[in-house]
Amino acid sequence: MRFVADRTTEWQYVSAAVLLIMLPLVCGFLLAQRYVFAGIVAGAVK
């Protein structure tokens, strides 16, 4: 599927593709943020 035609861009398809790419990344970060921040804090304390 082409998102960009000769003189126009199908923005609804571009935004849907971005949503499908970003949604699993955001969900994964939200599930793992406890461990991410715990690692950042543990690395910052001497």
pLDDT at 28: 95
Predicted TM-score (pTM) of the model is: 0.59
pLDDT at site 18: 96
Instruction: Show the 3-state SS of 5-44.
Output: CCCCECHHHHHHHHHHHHHHHHHHHHHHHHHHHHHHHHHH
The confidence score (pLDDT) of residue 1 equals: 67
Number of independent structural domains in the chain:
1
Q: What is the pLDDT of residues 1-46, one digit of tens each?
A: 666 767 788 889 899 999 999 999 999 999 999 998 899 888 887 6
What is the rounded distance in angstroms from the CA atom of residue 22 to the CA atom of residue 5? 24
- Residue 5 belongs to domain spanning: 1-46
